[in-house]
Structure 1
Amino acid sequence: MNINYKYKDSEMGKCDSQTAACSLERQACATVTTQAESITEQMDVTPAVIAAGPVVVKIPVVIAETNITIPVEATITLDQTVMEIKRIKKNVFLTQSRLIPFSNDGRNCTGILFIAGFIRKNIEYATQTCPSGTNVNVCGDIRHCTVQVPFNFTTRVTFLRPPIFIENTTPSELEFFTDKLSSCDACADPVLGRNPCDQNFSFTEFFNEKPFVELVRADITEIDIHTNPTSNCQTPTEQRFTELTEKIVVNLTLKVLQNQQVRVTAI
């Protein structure tokens, strides 16, 4: 089924030939095409599962969860003179998350978390493109600007379940005895001791699961302060500025996880 909508000006009369705004014949402003989609039949599939009994799985385990409040101050300079901020859309992104799973201050079951990221802000604002002069009416365009406000912090987390790490072993070395070494003196006794020709080393390296962070929730509260605004006597209620200072409070809820082996019972 195809439906086309077209709008013409024939029913509304002809435009005045002296008016520049109506010099061109009106054309269709939009065309809409629709098509009905058929439903594809499906068939249920029974999943293949393991037999009942104990089983060991490797899954992400929550080792810590924390709520952090971060104060941030940023100064933003826009490319044109602004009359009014219409809307600001905000999103939080993390660019770095590192966990030191132990602290050296004697506190047990705690670690140090390093976080870095930024707030992506899309600012929509109104500008003045038509000079007002003595007229109180002002015209302009709606523009937008996307900026990134960086932040970073370090905090202590308390483990709900300690992360699992296995340390590498201390390198070990074996030495072999020999009595075959001779000195420069042919009359001297043979040299007894370590055989410098043979060496044996042993070392074990463990590859641990690296903890990672998930961003659960982000709450942003801010106040925008217009820096050095200007106005005139004809329109005292309208301010013009190019720079604003933002005081932001970011509240983040984070989960710290590590892939661990867990024994479960399949029913």
Structure 2
Amino acid sequence: MGGQCENQNPNSIPCPVTSTEQIPFNSEATPLVATPVTAPTIKIPVVLAEPTLQIVVESDITLNPAATEIKRVKKNVFLNQVKLVPVSFARIANTDFFTVTRAKLFVAGHIRKNLEYASAACNGALQDRIADIPFSGFTDLTFPQTPGGPTPIFGISEFAEANFLNEKTQMDARLDKVFFQNLVKYNEQPFGELVAANFFELDFSPVMASPESTFSTLREKIVLELTVKVLQVQQVRLGAGSNVITPSLFGLTPPTSP
């Protein structure tokens, strides 16, 4: 059973193939009931920034067996880190939530390079060499990226402690009696997505090879323009003039407007 036969020859008849006829199903539209909502609040990934980073790398790739000619090069990018580290904040109204106004974006990954080349063998098969070229670095981001655009949002946790006097002497502390308050806010972690990679590359042998001679080292200089998205899941209220929604979670010492 299947599409293969043994001991075929050019004059043999086609192999029989078992098939199953598909039975058509009836289909009709499912009735839908719409419930009007004036301004619903939804929780969605919000695009905070979409920067294009210029990454410059140089490396040497060893070829074994040696090459006489480069035939084709194919490249892809793999990211293992897109992390946002905030360094500047602005308070949201009279709350203890903050928007990020400036941050460092750390990016790391590697370029996977698939290299096909011809060797010195007469009528030899094409050789294949796969190399991973790592890169890492950071860039500065300011928010919002456009006027009125979205920004990362973080709630700051609070820890408070109250101590007591010795009620008998009123002269020293009660070391065995303490009041604690601890408000922890759990924030959505900003994350990254790979959008596009544009490669500009120069490959050459460090020692120039004459025609039909071989070279065993390939030096590459790559300029990679890498585009990524930086996102954070946020609550957004839809409607005219959509708003980002944050809760009011005051601790014992609520903030005051300046």
Inter-partner Cα distance in structure 2 for 1:126 and 1:33: 41
Q: CA deviation at 1:149?
A: 0.6
Q: Does 1:125 align with 2:110?
A: no
Q: CA deviation at 1:196?
A: 2.8
Give 1:194's aligned amino acid: A
Give 1:208's aligned amino acid: N
Residues 37 and 176 of structure 1, relative CA distance in 2, 3 Å threshold: farther
Partner in structure 2 of residue 116 of structure 1: 108
Check conservation: 2:106, 2:139, Cα contact below 8 A: yes
Q: CA deviation at 1:36?
A: 6.4
Give 1:8's aligned amino acid: N
- Equivalent pairs counted in the alignment come to 222
Inter-partner Cα distance in structure 1 for 2:32 and 2:120: 63
Q: Deviations over 1:66-102 (max 9, x none)?
A: 1121111111002211122221111111111111122
Residues 37 and 74 of structure 1, relative CA distance in 2, 3 Å threshold: farther
Q: Gapped runs of 5+ residues in structure 2?
A: 90-99, 241-258
Q: CA deviation at 1:215?
A: 1.4
RMSD: 3.2
Residues 37 and 229 of structure 1, relative CA distance in 2, 3 Å threshold: farther
Partner in structure 2 of residue 158 of structure 1: 142
Partner in structure 1 of residue 202 of structure 2: 223
Inter-partner Cα distance in structure 1 for 2:132 and 2:174: 64
Q: Does 1:202 align with 2:203?
A: no
Give 1:219's aligned amino acid: N
Check conservation: 1:82, 1:241, Cα contact below 8 A: yes
Which is further off, 158-167 or 90-99? 158-167
Check conservation: 1:227, 1:244, Cα contact below 8 A: yes
Inter-partner Cα distance in structure 1 for 2:124 and 2:42: 62
Inter-partner Cα distance in structure 1 for 2:60 and 2:33: 57
Partner in structure 2 of residue 254 of structure 1: 228
Inter-partner Cα distance in structure 1 for 2:76 and 2:156: 39
Check conservation: 2:163, 2:174, Cα contact below 8 A: no
Q: Deviations over 1:119-158 (max 9, x none)?
A: 11111222233xxxxxxxx321222121101111211122
Partner in structure 1 of residue 250 of structure 2: none
Identity of aligned residues (%): 36
Correspondences of 1:1-267 after superposition (within 5 Å): 8=9, 33=17, 35=19, 38=22, 40-41=24-25, 43=27, 44-46=29-31, 51-103=36-88, 109-129=101-121, 138-159=122-143, 160=145, 161-175=150-164, 177-179=166-168, 192-228=171-207, 230-231=209-210, 237-265=211-239
Give 1:78's aligned amino acid: L
Q: Gapped runs of 5+ residues in structure 1?
A: 12-27, 130-137, 180-189, 232-236
Inter-partner Cα distance in structure 2 for 1:41 and 1:244: 59
Check conservation: 1:175, 1:198, Cα contact below 8 A: yes
Compute the TM-score of the two structures, normalised by the length of structure 1.
0.71
Q: More strand per residue: 1 or 2?
A: 2
Partner in structure 2 of residue 22 of structure 1: none
Inter-partner Cα distance in structure 2 for 1:81 and 1:111: 47
